[in-house]
């Protein structure tokens, strides 16, 4: 155990961070190179790395890159390939691009049984925005999915992993006014997990902050 502690003490965390950033830049550069080839010939991107490359592009790109993937989705007739495109669209860094991805998911261009894939990959950092989008477009979403077992997954994907009391009450009250019977159990389970996460954060946030500041 002492040897492990000594090893940890001797680690230069700054060097680790710099090394990680250098490798990340190299990875993004390689993905961009492969994406250029993909634009000319979609078959040039092997299926085993397609999702990783496209996710990296969407996370680090803009609307033009996202649109290329949407266009390719519309061209493709292969289910696995189309799914891989849907799963990366909402990873965009800007809220307006996330909104574009969600609008596309709910459009006639995407089968209703596949729409959840766009919602399912929403990063936690945009889930407050996604919740606002969900409530704003609830009537359309409810009309499409009120009999679908996937409705619960869509709702869960729009909830942040932790909430303050005001946010939590907003969600609870929304579903009191807009009940979703088919997803009732799923909503309760999601809110239970939110409560667990929020309580854990409240309990350990200050201790973790103090520990980080001491390093």
Quick: pLDDT tens for 71-101: 999 999 999 999 999 999 999 999 999 999 9
Instruction: Give the pLDDT confidence of 3-46 residue by residue, as tens digits.
Output: 433 433 444 444 555 565 667 888 899 999 999 999 999 999 99
Residues 6+ apart with CB under 8 A from 198: 162, 163, 164, 168
Task: Quote the CA–CA distance of 183 and 156 in Å, as a whole number.
Answer: 10
Distance CA 211, CA 215 (A): 7
| pLDDT tens string 47-77 | 999 999 999 999 999 999 999 999 999 999 9
User: What are the sequence ranges of the domains in the chain?
Assistant: 1-88, 124-214
């Amino acid at each position: 155990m002492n040897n492990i502690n000594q090893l940890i003490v001797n680690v230069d965390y700054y060097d680790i961070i710099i090394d990680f950033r250098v490798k990340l830049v190299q990875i993004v550069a390689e993905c961009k190179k492969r994406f250029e080839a993909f634009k000319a010939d979609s078959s040039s991107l092997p299926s085993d790395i397609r999702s990783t490359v496209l996710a990296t592009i969407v996370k680090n790109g803009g609307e033009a890159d996202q649109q290329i993937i949407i266009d390719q989705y519309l061209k493709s007739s292969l289910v696995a390939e189309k799914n891989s495109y849907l799963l990366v669209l909402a990873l965009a860094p800007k809220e307006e691009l996330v909104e574009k991805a969600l609008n596309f998911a709910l459009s006639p261009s995407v089968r209703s049984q596949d729409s959840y894939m766009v919602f399912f990959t929403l990063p936690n950092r945009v889930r407050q925005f996604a919740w606002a989008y969900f409530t704003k477009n609830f009537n359309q979403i409810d009309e499409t999915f009120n009999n679908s077992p996937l409705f619960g997954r869509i709702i869960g994907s729009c909830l942040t992993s932790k909430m303050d009391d005001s946010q939590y009450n907003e969600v609870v009250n929304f579903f009191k006014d807009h009940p979703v019977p088919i997803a009732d159990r799923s909503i309760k389970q999601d809110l239970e997990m939110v409560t667990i996460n929020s309580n854990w954060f409240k309990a350990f946030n200050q201790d973790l902050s103090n520990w980080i500041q001491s390093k």
